[in-house]
């Protein structure tokens, strides 16, 4: 057990509240600050892509007994439903029988997490704006605005869980030897909405992640508990088929009629949604170090913001908390050691999921519409079913295991090199499940190393 | 001619003062702000690596007639003098007969540039601290410290020439879609000193850039006008043979005796210099965009900070001014167009010199001690002398030409691929200047494209 500390967490998002619960259960006094009002009392207006919880997220929740409460507000999703432009629908299962990710509404989940944290004894301080931090003595500076008079709040430890544009990290960035990068994507996103049927049922299969892959852009949809779907349109800001090119109602209607004809009946308020909802940015943020002495640490998006295409932003943030908890159990009151070992363990894995997520846009928006890619996935699944000890597909390593992301990425690259050779076998589309192909894969596995 | 503008430049360094002279000559009112006192009135305590002016720098100075004044305070350097650990000295000429870079003391050059700017009618405002800028209307915020009451100063245009940690860029970084990265090197540097002989002459050859290449670390020296040399020790912060490993006088003396025996007589105050002078950091900073509407632009290190190993930080910054001036001449009062075309033209070249500079540490600290590398350079020079229209070595492209850096980098990679094949010819060390090798290079040049 650790000596009780007075701890401030900046940010009442998913990772901040989960960390608060962990720290409170470890006997510490925990205050969570957020500049926004309590989201349980106001309409949510934050980011809009639905979340998917997978093994890493569940593991972190299980450890503090929260998995059952959260599973009740999620919907299992066991496959991709791929909507081709000609109306054809393909299904691609994510894993083996029963393996599924869980679709969760961000606002529903976040409100639930705050409830659970309060029940655990965490104190929330909403509408408290933290503008700066003294890294040397963990003092927070709070005030109405950046140029007003600030009040000082002294803590033993400060955690930055305040997202990709973290104020806590902002102070760390001004230290020497702090590596930092932010890169904005040329692709933005906009929320659209598929309402429930009048009887509360879902208009399309609720247990699928729906994708309309169109190359440079795509539409996706994930189910909510109330029968609706949260849809997200990902598209370049500029150029042909871009947000910039859809300025008028007619352009929008024609665009959807051409590329997403089967959405006509299920997105009734397309024009209203599209022109009302903001177009949001995507950013990849990397930094190092994540901690300062034994006083300050970053978790979640404030340490590693990624793009959403693997559905792992929250899962990676929750895994930060798992690793922090492991280090706390190992090193007790040696917080400098806890922080150093935490960042050392997590950094390569955060970089790996950043890379995997970036690549997955191409997989979702282009490859899922490519027959050859679907064949490759089918071969991998067939071989994996026959030789589960020899082959676990990359998606399963990332999503249905807690293997370090960096290992999953390296093994994935190794498997891809093998599959490149397999796919170049003449007439592979007719011979894909033949003994020769099976033998070829085994030979390649024995000859290559990763 | 442009309509006169009221222009603020933040930073009285080399690039800021040169830009001021250009803008003043174009008829604008120019105020240069610096948070430091006038460096002509105080002892200089800034960065300490000597500068080398090469063609890009000279071109920018010539345009405003300053090249003659500056040449007088520089020393031509036409070769590397490579000090091997066994005492052997190798020379490697940079270009053809007469081609030389010019060694300049940063403080001497910067003071001279401020004098010249004042003569041109530029107004300097030293000890004025700019803390923020309103990008929309080019208003500066000035005050004693960051949290004091600020005064507002309204301009038509603001240029950030305030270095790698620019406050002007700091405000731009908080805009959406602003890409940014800062990466600190694992290698730091420390200034050491070779004094003049009693009669004012130089203790070692003044027309050489002296290198003591030792793999992971190196010492270098560049001559000053007063007979002294500015020496710079580049070394990792941590590990074996690092700044961290030289904590005591005996460690330092033993280290120099082992690795730099021939410096014993020329660096008399080694212990004093080493323990008194700070260990400095090296950072690579990249960002984009560099401008905001028609109001604000970044130049020099505030837009692209690089490592010093190619000697091009100042030259690249001066070339920014050349390009800005070209765009001003082309687009007159359309400042938004001037800024957009400037950043579009410069960004790929800034990225290229960043990459070339990073690579050059390995060339200077390791390859210059490698017989095979020296042979390769010898072959390139021999072939280039015979076929100047077919082959200009990379160093000459970067340093003795104004070819865009991005082209120089691409052609350099292409030439390297050719030289890799040439160096693998059996017995190349005895056959290097044979007709067969000449023919081989010509064949490779005809078969490859870059």
pLDDT in tens, B87-112: 999 999 998 888 999 999 999 999 99
pLDDT tier at B254 (50, 70, 90 boundaries)? very high
Alpha carbon separation from B87 to A328, B82, B235, B369 (Å, rounded): 54, 10, 21, 12
- CB contact B178 to A (< 8 Å): yes
Among A360, A381, A401, the domain-final residue is A360
Report percent pLDDT > 90 for chain B: 94
- How confident is the model at residue B168, as a pLDDT? 97
pLDDT tier at B34 (50, 70, 90 boundaries)? very high
The yes-or-no verdict on residue B147 having pLDDT over 90 is no
Contact assignment for B176 to A184 by CB distance below 8 Å: yes
DSSP letter, residue A280: B
Contacts of A177 in chain B (CB under 8 A): 184, 281
Contact assignment for B181 to A182 by CB distance below 8 Å: yes
- CB contact A180 to B (< 8 Å): yes
A323 plus A385 within the same structural domain? no
Output the domain CATH number for residue B322: 3.50.50.60
Asked whether residue B400 is assigned to any structural domain, the reply reads yes
A156 plus A293 within the same structural domain? yes
- How confident is the model at residue A59, as a pLDDT? 98
Q: Residues A140, A128: contact at Cβ < 8 Å?
A: no
Contacts of A182 in chain B (CB under 8 A): 173, 178-181
Identify the domain containing residue B146 by its residue range: 6-42+107-182+283-360
| Number of domain units in chain B | 2
pLDDT tens string for chain A (450 positions)? Answer: 899 999 999 999 999 999 999 999 999 999 999 999 999 998 765 556 889 999 999 999 999 999 999 999 999 999 999 999 999 999 999 988 889 999 999 999 999 999 999 999 999 999 999 999 999 999 999 999 988 899 999 999 999 999 999 999 999 998 889 999 999 999 999 999 999 999 999 999 999 999 999 999 999 999 999 999 999 999 999 999 999 999 999 999 999 999 999 999 999 999 999 999 999 999 999 999 999 999 999 999 999 999 999 999 999 999 999 999 999 999 999 999 999 999 999 999 999 999 999 999 999 999 999 999 999 999 999 999 999 999 999 999 999 999 999 999 999 999 999 999 999 999 999 999 999 999 999 999 998 777
- How confident is the model at residue A1, as a pLDDT? 81
Which one, of B378, B222, B245, lies nearest residue B308 by Cα?
B222
Strands B296-298, B304-305: pairing is unpaired
CA dist., res. B353 & res. B394, Å (int): 12
- CB contact B280 to A (< 8 Å): no
A148 plus A292 within the same structural domain? yes
- How confident is the model at residue B146, as a pLDDT? 87
- How confident is the model at residue A448, as a pLDDT? 77
- How confident is the model at residue B47, as a pLDDT? 54
A346 plus A376 within the same structural domain? no
Q: Which residues, other chains included, contact A1 with Cβ-Cβ below 8 Å and sequence gap of 6+?
A: A26, A27
Q: Residues A95, A79: contact at Cβ < 8 Å?
A: no
Report percent pLDDT > 70 for chain B: 99
Contact assignment for A179 to B178 by CB distance below 8 Å: no
Contact assignment for A181 to B178 by CB distance below 8 Å: no
B374 plus B436 within the same structural domain? yes
The yes-or-no verdict on residue B228 having pLDDT over 70 is yes
Contact assignment for B179 to A183 by CB distance below 8 Å: yes
Asked whether residue B317 is assigned to any structural domain, the reply reads yes
Angstroms from B126 CA to nearest CA on chain A: 24
Angstroms from A113 CA to nearest CA on chain B: 29
CA dist., res. A230 & res. A374, Å (int): 26
pLDDT one-digit tens code per residue, B381-418: 999 999 999 999 999 999 999 999 999 999 999 999 99
Question: Hey, CA dihedral for A101, A105, A110, A113, is it positive or negative?
Answer: negative
Asked whether residue B156 is assigned to any structural domain, the reply reads yes
Q: Residues A357, A310: contact at Cβ < 8 Å?
A: yes
Taking one residue from A and the other from B, the number of pairs with CB-CB distance under 8 angstroms is 30
- CB contact A175 to B (< 8 Å): no
Q: Is residue B57 within a helix (H) or strand (E), and if so which, with residue range?
A: helix B55-63
Asked whether residue A388 is assigned to any structural domain, the reply reads yes
DSSP letter, residue A289: -
The upper half-sphere exposure of residue A271, i.e. CA atoms within 13 Å in the direction of its Cβ, equals: 7
Strand stretches in B247-392, DSSP E: 283-288, 291-292, 296-298, 304-305
A300 plus A378 within the same structural domain? no
pTM: 0.91
- How confident is the model at residue B97, as a pLDDT? 81
Which one, of B41, B5, B44, B47, lies nearest residue B126 by Cα?
B41
Asked whether residue A73 is assigned to any structural domain, the reply reads no
Of B342 and B50, more confident: B342
Asked whether residue B228 is assigned to any structural domain, the reply reads no
A428 plus A293 within the same structural domain? no
- CB contact B281 to A (< 8 Å): yes
Hunting for tokens 């007589």 — which residue is that?
B265
Asked whether residue A60 is assigned to any structural domain, the reply reads no
Contact assignment for B281 to A178 by CB distance below 8 Å: no
Asked whether residue B344 is assigned to any structural domain, the reply reads yes
pLDDT one-digit tens code per residue, B265-314: 999 999 999 999 999 999 999 999 999 999 999 999 999 999 999 999 99
- How confident is the model at residue B53, as a pLDDT? 97
Among A328, A360, A392, the domain-final residue is A360
Contact assignment for A182 to B178 by CB distance below 8 Å: yes
Tokens, residue A312: 């792992």
Average pLDDT, chain B: 95
Give buried/exposed letters for B273-302 (b at 16+ CB in 10 A, else e): bbeeeeeeebbbbbbbbbbbebbbbbbbbb
The yes-or-no verdict on residue B46 having pLDDT over 90 is no
- CB contact A278 to B (< 8 Å): no
Among B360, B389, B413, the domain-final residue is B360
Contact assignment for A181 to B180 by CB distance below 8 Å: yes
- How confident is the model at residue B215, as a pLDDT? 94
Contact assignment for A184 to B184 by CB distance below 8 Å: no
Q: Residues B49, B193: contact at Cβ < 8 Å?
A: no
- CB contact A429 to B (< 8 Å): no
The yes-or-no verdict on residue B368 having pLDDT over 70 is yes
Which one, of B250, B10, B18, B31, lies nearest residue B123 by Cα?
B31
Tokens, residue A243: 């947000």
B347 plus B392 within the same structural domain? no
Angstroms from B334 CA to nearest CA on chain A: 23
Quick one: how far is CA B281 from the chain centroid? 15
The yes-or-no verdict on residue B44 having pLDDT over 90 is no
CB within 8 Å of chain A, chain B residues 181-200: 181-184
A30 plus A129 within the same structural domain? yes
A27 plus A149 within the same structural domain? yes
B396 plus B422 within the same structural domain? yes
B123 plus B12 within the same structural domain? yes
Interface probe for B, chosen from A141, A146, A173, A177 (most Cβ of B below 10 Å), is: A177
Interface probe for B, chosen from A184, A186, A244, A351 (most Cβ of B below 10 Å), is: A184
Interface probe for B, chosen from A142, A182, A186, A237 (most Cβ of B below 10 Å), is: A182
Residue of A nearest to B167 (CA): A174
CB within 8 Å of chain B, chain A residues 358-417: none
- How confident is the model at residue A48, as a pLDDT? 67
Angstroms from A282 CA to nearest CA on chain B: 9
The upper half-sphere exposure of residue B44, i.e. CA atoms within 13 Å in the direction of its Cβ, equals: 14
- How confident is the model at residue A421, as a pLDDT? 95
Q: Which residues, other chains included, contact A139 with Cβ-Cβ below 8 Å and sequence gap of 6+?
A: A133, A152, A153, A154, A155
> What are residue B420's phi and psi, to 5 degrees?
-60, -40
Residue of B nearest to A165 (CA): B174
pLDDT tier at B48 (50, 70, 90 boundaries)? low
């Amino acid at each position: 057990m650790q000596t009780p500390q007075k701890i401030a967490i900046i940010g009442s998002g998913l990772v901040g509240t989960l960390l608060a619960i962990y720290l409170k259960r470890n006997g510490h006094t925990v205050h969570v600050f957020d500049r926004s009002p309590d989201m349980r009392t106001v309409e949510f207006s934050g980011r809009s892509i639905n979340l998917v919880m997978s093994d890493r997220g569940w593991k972190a929740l299980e450890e503090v007994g929260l998995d059952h409460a959260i599973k009740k507000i999620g919907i299992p999703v066991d496959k991709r439903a791929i909507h081709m432009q000609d109306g054809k629908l393909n299904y691609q299962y994510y894993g083996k029988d029963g393996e599924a990710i869980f679709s969760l509404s961000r606002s529903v989940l976040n409100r639930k997490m705050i409830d659970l944290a309060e029940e655990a004894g965490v104190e929330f301080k909403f509408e408290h704006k933290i503008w700066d931090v003294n890294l040397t003595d963990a003092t927070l500076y709070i005030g109405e605005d950046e140029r007003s008079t600030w009040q000082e709040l002294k803590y033993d430890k400060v955690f930055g869980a305040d997202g990709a544009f973290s104020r806590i990290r902002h102070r760390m960035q001004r230290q020497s030897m702090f590596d930092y990068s932010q890169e904005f994507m040329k692709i933005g996103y906009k929320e659209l909405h598929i309402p429930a049927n009048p009887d509360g049922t879902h208009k399309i299969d609720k247990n699928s992640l729906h994708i309309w892959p169109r190359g440079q852009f795509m539409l996706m949809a994930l189910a909510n508990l109330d029968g609706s779907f949260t849809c997200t349109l990902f598209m370049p800001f500029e150029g042909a088929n871009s947000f910039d090119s859809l300025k008028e109602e007619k352009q929008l209607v024609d665009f959807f009629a051409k590329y997403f004809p089967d959405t006509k009946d299920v997105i009734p308020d397309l024009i209203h949604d599209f022109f009302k909802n903001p177009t949001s940015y995507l950013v990849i943020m990397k930094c190092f170090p994540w901690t300062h002495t034994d006083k300050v640490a970053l978790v979640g998006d404030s340490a590693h913001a990624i793009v959403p295409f693997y559905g792992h932003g929250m899962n990676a943030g929750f895994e930060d908390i798992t690793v922090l908890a492991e280090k706390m159990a190992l090193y007790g009151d040696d917080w400098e050691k806890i922080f150093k070992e935490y960042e050392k363990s997590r950094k390569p894995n955060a970089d790996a999921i950043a890379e995997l997520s970036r690549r997955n846009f191409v997989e979702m928006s282009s490859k899922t519409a490519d027959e050859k890619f679907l064949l490759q996935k089918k071969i991998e699944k067939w071989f994996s079913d026959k030789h589960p000890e020899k082959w676990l597909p990359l998606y399963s390593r990332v999503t249905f295991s807690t293997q370090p992301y960096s290992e999953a990425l390296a093994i994935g690259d190794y498997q891809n090199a093998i599959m490149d050779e397999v796919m170049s076998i003449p007439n592979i589309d007719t011979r894909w499940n033949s003994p020769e192909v099976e033998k070829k894969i085994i030979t390649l596995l024995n000859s290559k190393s990763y």
